[in-house]
Structure 1
Amino acid sequence: MDPQAELRIIRAAYAKQVLAAANVSNAHIAGAFASVRREDFLGPGPWLVRRLFGDYVPTPDADPVYLYTDDLVALVPERRLNNGQPSLHAHLMHQAEPAAGEHVVHVGTGTGYYTAILAHLVGPTGRVTGIEFDAALAARARTNLAASANVEIIAGDGTQASFDAADIVYVNAGCTRPAARWLDGLADGGRLILPMTSDQGFGSLTPARMAHGGAVFRIRRSGADYHAAWISPVAIIPCAGGRDDASERALADAFVRGGWQDVTRLYRHQDVPDRRCWLRGDGWCLAYD
């Protein structure tokens, strides 16, 4: 069999396995995972794949077949910076609900694999703005996505970079507070996928530690209101520009208290009573109705 034909079959099987692991039934997302070539975004093989307990194991050779598993693959192994877990992204994309013609802002684009999947999901009438803090990774993403007319890559701080009104802001790094730029930049009806992590939430593969150190919220804008819902535990690299000592301590304390699964609103003022706040920051809070 032609190697590329074989890989197309493998990618289709990979997409089904990834969505099954994410407990997601979504033909649109499955088609995107089956279509985008992961090997085009990871540099030359062999590759380092992260296995149980955080150890990297090299693939036996440079055959791309080894990339089509639900595993993290190293981008910068000495920094524990990886191409993220496919099933987590399938779940988060399902929650974000990208549709044809929409504008997605991808904060933490890395080398562009999940940016390419988002671009596939919004189609040629939509567009993706990828923002990457690491200039070297941004340059790789720009090269990898050069043929994608509906993708723009920006090197810079994703909490500060300017972008047009977004239907989705898809953040792939752990914050201790939502950036005002993201909330301001959401169009009416827009969705923010927001990972929030304490210093316990990066690098842990222990479910108990993940559950108490990282949570992903979906924030949906409705006019001046922001509805919130917890959608996943998470362990993810910290967000440059999206953390500070005071909000780090407040978030860690909030995880100790529990209750993040019951959050329903994000408010951008200080008038919410403490009894209704899960997490309070400077001029905002995640709260219960």
Structure 2
Amino acid sequence: MDPHQDRVSAAFGAVPREEFLPAGYRAEASYDGPIPIGHGQTNSQPATVAAMLRLLEVEPGQRVLDVGAGSGWTTALLAHLVGPTGLVVGVELVPELAAWGEQNVRRTSGAWASVREATPGVLGVPELAPYDRILVSAEAGRLPTALLDQLGDPGRMVVPVAGVMTVVERAGGEDRTGLHGHYRFVPLR
């Protein structure tokens, strides 16, 4: 069995989804579909999150950027995967969701993970780059160059582009792109 699959399953067991849902939706945490979290955003479908995390191939000790952190669930899952020797920076465009996501991550994860409000007009958190892994939970119209600029070498980014889950693998100054099925996300802005 793929070791990343076991580690992702363990992260799901350690970071319960209900901790990252509005009170009125916590009873639906086991539902394998998106759940509204307010401001036109959702807590993503668990099967989709698991697929993205497996494609990302996160290792302990890595530096990870989580774009579109929302409620902080993916940030906390990533925190579990990188462990205390890693770093996870979640970034969220909606100020109220960023504050709530940070509260959720503080309550459930270690000090190596955080969620912050996105800087207007800036994609990602370039001042902390490079990152070993970048996870994007919003759909880009095309591969976001601003995020590619923050990816280390070696590095790996998982991002939905025009409805297709895209993996960019960087090694030795070369980028290889793989396509992994069709998904729907809120737009990346």
- The normalised TM-score by structure 1 is 0.59
Deviation at 1:160, TM superposition (A): 5.2
Which amino acid counterpart does residue 82 of structure 2 have in structure 1? V
- Size of the alignment, in residue pairs? 182
Q: Which residue of 2 aligns with 1:255?
A: none
1:105-159 deviation line (CA, Å, top 9, x unaligned): 0000001011111110111111101010111100001111124311122211562
**What SS does the aligned partner of 1:125 have?**
coil
**What SS does the aligned partner of 2:116 have?**
strand
Which amino acid counterpart does residue 170 of structure 1 have in structure 2? L
Which amino acid counterpart does residue 215 of structure 1 have in structure 2? V
Deviation at 1:65, TM superposition (A): 5.0
Given that 2:91 and 2:118 are in contact with CA atoms closer than 8 Å, whether structure 1 keeps it comes out as yes
**What SS does the aligned partner of 2:149 have?**
helix
Given that 2:167 and 2:178 are in contact with CA atoms closer than 8 Å, whether structure 1 keeps it comes out as yes
**What SS does the aligned partner of 2:106 have?**
coil
Match of 2:145 among 180, 187, 191: 180
Structure ID, larger Rg: 1
Q: Which residue of 1 aligns with 2:20?
A: 41
1:34-79 deviation line (CA, Å, top 9, x unaligned): 111222211212x2xxxxxxxxxxxxxxxx4531231221112x72
Q: Which residue of 1 aligns with 2:5?
A: 26
Change (3 A) 1:36 1:65: same
Which amino acid counterpart does residue 33 of structure 2 have in structure 1? D
**Percent of residue pairs bearing the same amino acid type:** 30
Structure-2 separation of matches of 1:113 and 1:194: 17
Structure-2 separation of matches of 1:139 and 1:68: 24
Given that 2:165 and 2:183 are in contact with CA atoms closer than 8 Å, whether structure 1 keeps it comes out as yes
1:62-109 deviation line (CA, Å, top 9, x unaligned): xx4531231221112x72x21001101111111110010011100000
**What SS does the aligned partner of 1:114 have?**
helix
Structure-1 separation of matches of 2:81 and 2:125: 23
Trace 1:269-284 onto structure 2 (pairs within 5 A). Answer: none
Structure-2 separation of matches of 1:101 and 1:195: 25
Which amino acid counterpart does residue 135 of structure 1 have in structure 2? P
Q: Which residue of 2 aligns with 1:135?
A: 95
Q: Which residue of 2 aligns with 1:70?
A: 32
The alignment status of 1:239 with 2:188, answered yes or no, reads yes
> Which protein, 1 or 2, shows the higher relative CO under an 8 Å CA cutoff with sep ≥ 6?
2
Which amino acid counterpart does residue 93 of structure 1 have in structure 2? L
- The normalised TM-score by structure 2 is 0.89
Q: Which residue of 1 aligns with 2:78?
A: 118
